[in-house]
C-alpha cells in the first residue's frame, strides 16, 4: 500500500477562534503523529488483510473520539460555554476517517473488513 497522507483540513483550522493557535498546532501535531505511526505499522504489515485491519482499528478509534467530542457539544452549551473546540475536534476526526476511506482502494477494503467484523461479532454473540 502506498504511504497514507493525512492532514488537518483548512476549514477546520479556519473555524477556530482567533485565540485557537495552540489548538491548531495541537491538531497538526496529533495528525502528523497518527500518520507517522500508521505508516510505520503498515510498513511492518505482512499482507493486505493486516494492513486493512490496522486502518480499520484506527477508524474505530477515530469514530470513538468523534462521538466523545460530539457528546461534549450539548453539555458545553448547557453550561453556557462555547463548543467551538469540541466541534472542531469532532469535525477533524470525521474528516480523517473520510481521508482514510478516500485513499486508493482502501475504502472498499475497509467496508469489507468492517462487514466481516459485524458478522463475526454477531455470530459470537449468538453462540454465547
pLDDT by residue (tens digit) across 97-110? 999 999 988 899 99
Cell numbers found for residue 67: 462521538
The tens digit of pLDDT for each residue in 3-27 reads: 999 999 999 999 999 988 999 999 9
The verdict on residue 43 lying in a domain is yes
Residue 4 resides in a domain: no
**Distances in Å between the alpha carbon of 6 and those of 27, 40, 91, 102, 122?**
11, 14, 14, 11, 32
Domain count, the chain: 1
Residue 89 lies in a domain: yes
Give a yes or no: residue 24 inside a domain: yes
Q: What is the mean pLDDT of the chain?
A: 91
Cα-to-chain-centroid distance, residue 69: 12
Give domain status of residue 102, yes or no: yes
Residue 121 has pLDDT above 70, yes or no: no
Q: Is residue 3 part of a domain?
A: no
Residue 60, in any domain of the structure: yes
Q: Provide the domain limits for residue 66.
A: 10-127
In a domain, 2, yes or no: no
The answer, as to whether pTM is greater than 0.85, is: yes
Amino acid at each position: 500500500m502506498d504511504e497514507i497522507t493525512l492532514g488537518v483540513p483548512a476549514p477546520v483550522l479556519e473555524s477556530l477562534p482567533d485565540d485557537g493557535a495552540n489548538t491548531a498546532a495541537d491538531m497538526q501535531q496529533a495528525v502528523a503523529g497518527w500518520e507517522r505511526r500508521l505508516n510505520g505499522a503498515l510498513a511492518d504489515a505482512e499482507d493486505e488483510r493486516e494492513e486493512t485491519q490496522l486502518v480499520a482499528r484506527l477508524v474505530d478509534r477515530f469514530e470513538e473520539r468523534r462521538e466523545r467530542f460530539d457528546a461534549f457539544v450539548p453539555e458545553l452549551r448547557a453550561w453556557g460555554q462555547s463548543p467551538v473546540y469540541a466541534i472542531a475536534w469532532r469535525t477533524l476526526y470525521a474528516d480523517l476517517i473520510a481521508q482514510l476511506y478516500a485513499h486508493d482502494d482502501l475504502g472498499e477494503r475497509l467496508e469489507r473488513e468492517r462487514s466481516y467484523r459485524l458478522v463475526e461479532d454477531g455470530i459470537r454473540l449468538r453462540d454465547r
